[in-house]
Amino acid sequence: MNAAHKTLAEAIEKIGELHPENGFTFQDMKGVETTYSFPRIAELTAHRAAALQASGLQKGDRIGLVVVEPEDFVLTFLAAVRVGIVPVPLYPPLSLGGLDAYAEKTAKILACAGAKVLVASTQLQNVLWGIVGKVPSISRLVKVETLAEFEGTPKAETIAPDDIAFLQYTSGSTSDPKGVIVTHASLKANSEAIMGAGLHATAEKTVGVSWLPLYHDMGLI
């Protein structure tokens, strides 16, 4: 996030203009790499943001994200943030043996967050349909792939530093999951502390590498 940007939403929209030569590279389990330049990320997140708005979502609405594909997770997360829709990252089911416990915990998080839509990978549809029925606030389950097919321009939203960027829930390993509100101002301060004061990183010279799960706070931040 550039120091001139007051919110992550602004940074997502403008980053392609500042550093068109930079971007994100994702590597799958076979070692195949896919690279998205920042201008391309700005374009794709705009289309997905427009898709979310076209589905009836507005600034302040919460959406659950259970997406296993890294590219789809990142692009959908950033798309929501840039128009003020609040993503709630959730981990996917890790085994068939614990599906009942997973469904119960995930339903509690979605209900607590007041999520209106659950965005999920196609391969998880059968597992997640039952969860949707347990959460009164959720109106539908959306396949993340359908967002990628949408082309359009999102309606501009005024987003302030104190607005919520996303909700991060604890794992719930020792008690019910608890939500943490992360504002745009918090993200800006965190980014500046890590990249500037901590690592002395610059957009011109620094390349970062992470192998942590994106739905976990240490992967997101």
Which structure tokens are listed for 111? 């209900």
Q: Is 40 helix (H, G, I), strand (E, B) or coil?
A: helix
SS3 121: coil
- Residue pair 19/37 in contact (Cβ under 8 Å)? The answer is no
CB atoms within 10 A of CB 220: 19
What is the DSSP-derived secondary structure letter of residue 173?
A: S
Count of Cβ atoms closer than 10 Å to residue 1 Cβ: 19
Q: What is the DSSP letter of 28?
A: -
Where is 18: in which H helix or E strand? helix 8-18
Q: Over 184-207, what HEC string results?
A: HHHHHHHHHHHHHHHCCCCCCCCC
Does the pLDDT of residue 163 top 90, yes or no? yes
For residue 25, what are its two tokens?
Answer: 């590279």
Question: What is the sign of the dihedral through the CA atoms of 39, 40, 44 and 50?
Answer: positive
**Mind giving me the DSSP string for 137-149?**
T--EEEEHHHHHT
Query: Per the confidence metrics, is the pTM higher than 0.95?
Result: no
Q: Report the alpha-carbon distance of residue 136 to residue 123 in Å, rounded.
A: 23
Residue 98 has pLDDT above 90, yes or no: no
**What is the predicted pLDDT for the residue at 143?**
94
User: Which tokens hold the place of 125?
Assistant: 């549809």
pLDDT tops 70 at residue 173: no
pLDDT in tens, 43-53: 999 999 999 99
For 218, phi then psi, to 5°, come to -75, -15
Q: Does position 177 have pLDDT exceeding 70, yes or no?
A: yes
Token readout for 8 is 């992550």
With cut-offs at 50, 70 and 90, classify the pLDDT of residue 3: low
Residue 172: pLDDT over 90: no
**pLDDT tens-digit map of 25-47:** 999 878 899 999 999 999 999 99
Ranges 10-14, 180-184, 215-219: which has the least confidence: 215-219
Helix (H/G/I), strand (E/B), else coil: 120: strand
